[in-house]
A and B are shown apart, each in its own frame.
Chain A
Amino acid sequence: MEPTEIAVPAPRVAAPLAAQRQPIFRREDIRPTLKNPSANAREFFFTRAIYNGGGRRWGAWATDFPKADRQFLTILDRLIDLDAYEMENAIQLDDPAVRRFPFLYALEVGNMYMTEAEVKGLREYLLAGGFLMIDDFWGTYEWQNFEAEIKRVLPEYQIVDLPLNHPIFNTVYNIEEIVQVPSIGNAQGGPTWERDGYEAQVKGIFDETGRLMVVINWNTDIGDAWEWAESPYYPLRYSTYAIEITVNIIVYAMSH
């Protein structure tokens, strides 16, 4: 079982990541880490779902990849006491190894067109106990596409709004409002929305026992906020919210 990088079929992005690899503060600076040198021994992998869909370059799934992932993991390591693998980890939904990673992140799902094998893989993954976080899709059209796709996966479960008193909003950080996180292009001023996605919403899909299987961040681009968190031109308010809600979602997924 090789759980990590091999699952990425695409060539690595040669982005200048030196800054992300050497953050000013690492957790080890504050208290000693207990990380096992073997990647396979790690508890948490920030895992991207590779799915069939449209999009530029390698596909919609790889938007912001892998800078957003690495940058988020660097921050995550400083914030909470989680034994997380430091690098990105992407895996196809129809790969049986996906079950090794009970947390999945998928974005740009407005352009998602899953194969039958992917639908089956994701369905079994979610029913077995896996958790899916959806991000970065905007407006009615993309919603409709995502809704149609997720109905193929979980036809028997409804998508419902998550109220602010749901534990996911205060698992680690207390989140008092749902913020629309704009992409880097819209963060400098002007409207924060894209297409007709004026209001950010957080929705969920629960199984019959009340377990949250899917959390859907609609009309928001949390991934961009991780990717540009270090940029002096990206407002702190958005990146703070993006990081806080993701930390909450991960901790919630790992405990409920």
Chain B
Amino acid sequence: MFESLFKFLFKYRPIIFDEGSLAFRPTTATFVAAVVVVAIGVVTFQTYQRVRANTRPLDRAVLTGVRLTILAVLLLCLFRPVLVLSQVVAQQNFLGVLIDDSRSMAIADRDGESRADFVTQQFGGEESPLLTALADRFALRLFSFSSATNRITSVDDLAFDGTRTHLGQALTRAHEELAGVPLSGMVVVSDGADNADVELSDALVPLEAAGVPVFTVGLGREEYSRDIQLSRVDTPRSVLKGAALVVDVLLTQNGYAGETVSVQVEDEGRIVADQEVTLPADGEPATVRVRFTASDAGARLFSFRVAPRPDEMVTQNNERNALVVVEDTREKILYFEGEPRWELKFIGRAVEDDENLQVARLQRTAENKFMRIGVEDAEDLIGGFPRTREELFKYRAIILGSIEANYFTPDQLRMIADFVSERGGSLLMLGGQRSYAEGGYAGTPVADVLPVLLNPTAGDGEDGFFIETDVRPTRAGATHPATQIAETEEASGARWLELPPITLVNRITDVKPGATRLLESGDGSFVVLAFQRYGAGKALAFPIQDSWMWQMHADIAVDDQTHETLWRRLLRWMVDGVPDQVVADLPTDQTELDEPLSLRAEVDDANYEEINNSQVSAWITDPDDELFEVPMDWTADRDGEYASSFVPRKEGLYEVRMEATSDGELLGSDTAYIRVAPSDSEYYDSTMQASLLERVAEETGGRFYTTDTVDSLVDDIQTVGGGVTVVEERDLWDMPVFLFLFLALVLGEWGYRRSRGLA
């Protein structure tokens, strides 16, 4: 609208004025005429100065001004203003046309027509208007782009089945191919739903430097009217077998606000969770928390989905897959008690049936006399609490019961702190007469690790603090995986409030900044369970001394499993994600055929110090069970980091086992999995990304178009584009705006005279 009005008044579109520069082309006759006009002006001025009849000074000034303005407009036209433009010479220049060949182009969001239909209509053949108009003026080079960029001869070569959109890569590739020819610019026809990992500016800067403008044509709608999308699913890469997973699914939607849908989780064909959710207002994300148990070991593909609605515009974005490695290992936990305590018996009992947890219990019965339960062999822990890092760091978690800080040597206290911060293990301290400040931990390295502030007034058990209290979950605790003691969140929250009271002898009221309080006393004044991340690991405070009451109390049914569930979940959460000496790291759980995959390993020695001179290999088993070795080298960027890459040539599941040896001795190994399959990422956030396309155009000096404004594309390229150009001058004196101005001034003068009675 604005543009047509502009063109009506000023003869040319705004882009011409943007690109051109103003000049005057007067002739000899112009100067003669100018002298005449100036003379008329002088006469006019003097005449008005002299005339006095019936006029006020203001009238004379206005009329003189109007007259002089009319003469000035005439004078301006007489000097023949022109716009000097460099115009692309027809058929002398090349134009790269890059057409998006990805799956998202098949989305039919243009009143029933797909984005690909536009491409076919405009570029399909001889009759296609845009192709014809472009071909009239430029030598066209067509490219298709999705994961890769290819030269095509016509749009018939497009299949619209690419699984990714790598826009930056396409621009770079086309620019390289067209180097050395006069290039007017590039046209990108796409929905702009770029999902490459690389920065787009890497591709734009060279184009801008070379003066190659990119003209972007955006296809599709900027917002769907009816769509549900699973925007994100956060699952851990690996869990212990039997783990109760709590997974947040982020849902966005348009057009279904207030409706109830169910999010289902499928474990290779078996529905393992079904969670209903009421959809929020349009455009607002909703987080759905689904719970399920990873009951089968191995690399499992979990599918999260919302059943497609009948009138949904894009149904492919209703599902997401996550590859989770369900480990069937036995994780070692060291539980050290400084005195015989019922907690030791009941915690041991709670987890004894859990095949994935091995709790080695070390109990001091008298000075320097220890009892060992659940140890590996006769020598294990025979000297009491481990004295070397190597001995301690083979555990994944430590539970400290009622054991005074003085029992440990300063080295051992430092080792416990390092166990968390460097080895990445978990530490849990139980309540007791010899725990926390009452056990003399204030000022020790262990106190730094703990997530709670120690009571400054407690001095070695002389405080005499004791309370009996109910326990309730905090907001964070109500949803945290470690504190889920029933099947659903509601049931778990209710069950906490039913549990019998427990006792506290450690006065702990505050958590440290950054720590999370999960459970607290019924009146909220004391911390019952809190955790924080500390260095590479995590530390928990559970300052109660008789969680066994949740098993033994008369109000608890004999076959009740609450106590067992609590300790299993808590200990599993503690060992979850605790690294081994070798950690295999793949950037993603899914990749595409023939796409290079980077492999990364972090390697530590037995003391969990990074080691740079070990021999690391990735042993890769492909979907046909063929094994091959990829050597990995130290990256030199970071200590203990080794890297390599490989290109999968088959679709299916790859097992990648990274193994490190040092001086012929195995340091450890870790296995990761990756699925090689076509990506669905094209269907997520697949609305037209106008801002991205605008940015590409703006940064390179091109223009952005939609399907409604694309008509001016050809003329614009001719004006803005580079390559072989000629200088062209366009007259401005005959712009309609001058005529209208002239008429408006003449009529204005007449009107003024009429109104003043001077006519």
Contacts and interface: CB of A to CB of B under 8 A. Distances in A.
Contacts of B14: none
Contacts of A32: 460
B364 interface: yes
Contacts of A188: none
A124 B505 CA distance: 28
B579 interface: no
Specify which of A31, A37, A41, A98 lies most central, judged by the most chain B CB atoms within 10 Å of its CB.
A41
Interface string A214-256: 0000000000000000000000000000000000001101111
A100 B552 contact: yes
Contact of A99 (B373, B433, B468, B553): B553
A211 B344 contact: no
Contact of A172 (B371, B461, B551): B371
A129 B371 contact: no
B404 A80 contact: no
B341 interface: yes
Contact of A251 (B340, B439, B558): B340
A35 interface: yes
B2 interface: no
A129 B340 contact: no
B753 interface: no
Specify which of B348, B366, B503 lies most central, judged by the most chain A CB atoms within 10 Å of its CB.
B366
A96 B549 CA distance: 12
B369 A40 contact: no
Nearest to A43: B341
Nearest to A39: B466
B7 interface: no
Contacts of B361: 255
B344 A254 contact: yes
B396 interface: no
Specify which of B345, B369, B503 lies most central, judged by the most chain A CB atoms within 10 Å of its CB.
B345
Given A251-B371, A254-B341, A81 B548 contact: no
Contact of B558 (A41, A82, A127, A253): A127
A37 B464 contact: yes
B372 to A, nearest CB: 10
Contacts of A35: 433, 461
Interface in A79-122: 79-83, 96-100, 102
A38 interface: yes
Contacts of A81: 338-340, 364-367
Contacts of B556: 128
A97 B353 CA distance: 28
Interface in B429-470: 433-434, 438-439, 460-461, 464-466, 468
B345 A255 contact: yes
Contacts of B554: 96-99, 124
B352 A251 contact: no
A171 B404 CA distance: 23
Contacts of B460: 32, 34
A1 interface: yes
Nearest to A103: B342
B399 to A, nearest CB: 14
Interface in A21-62: 31-32, 34-38, 40-41, 43-44
Given A41-B505, A97-B554, A127-B558, A171 B371 contact: yes
B124 interface: no
B349 interface: yes
B464 A38 contact: yes
Given A79-B366, A81-B367, A41 B552 contact: no
B545 A43 contact: yes
B552 A130 contact: yes
Contacts of B434: 34
B371 A255 contact: yes
A130 B338 CA distance: 22
B346 interface: yes
Contacts of A172: 365-366, 369, 371
Contact of A41 (B342, B466, B501): B466
A165 interface: no
Contacts of A171: 365, 371
Interface residues of A, number: 38
Contacts of B341: 43, 83, 254
B363 interface: yes
A17 to B, nearest CB: 25
A43 B468 contact: no
Contacts of A83: 339, 341, 402, 433
A129 B551 contact: yes
B342 A254 contact: yes
Interface string A69-80: 000000000011
Contacts of A253: 345
A31 B466 contact: no
Nearest to A81: B339
Contact of A255 (B344, B367, B503, B553): B344
Interface string A148-173: 00000000000000000000000110
A220 B699 CA distance: 97
B349 A129 contact: yes
Contacts of B352: 209
B468 A129 contact: no
B365 A80 contact: yes
Specify which of A44, A80, A127 lies most central, judged by the most chain B CB atoms within 10 Å of its CB.
A80
B552 A128 contact: yes
A80 B366 contact: yes
Nearest to B546: A43
Contacts of A127: 558
Given A40-B503, A99-B553, A129 B366 contact: no
A82 B548 contact: no
A34 B404 contact: yes
A174 B328 CA distance: 38
A255 B505 contact: no
B340 A250 contact: yes
Interface string B365-387: 11101010100000000000000
Nearest to B556: A128
Given A34-B404, A102-B548, A251 B365 contact: yes
Contacts of A211: 349
A256 B348 CA distance: 8
Interface in A171-209: 171-172, 209
A186 B352 CA distance: 45
10 contacts: A34-B460, A36-B466, A43-B342, A79-B366, A128-B556, A129-B552, A172-B366, A209-B352, A211-B349, A255-B344
Given A37-B464, A43-B339, 10 more contacts: A34-B404, A36-B461, A81-B340, A83-B339, A100-B552, A102-B552, A130-B552, A251-B371, A254-B341, A254-B342
- For the complex of A and B, the 3 pairs showing the least CB-CB separation, nearest first, are A96-B554, A34-B461, A38-B466
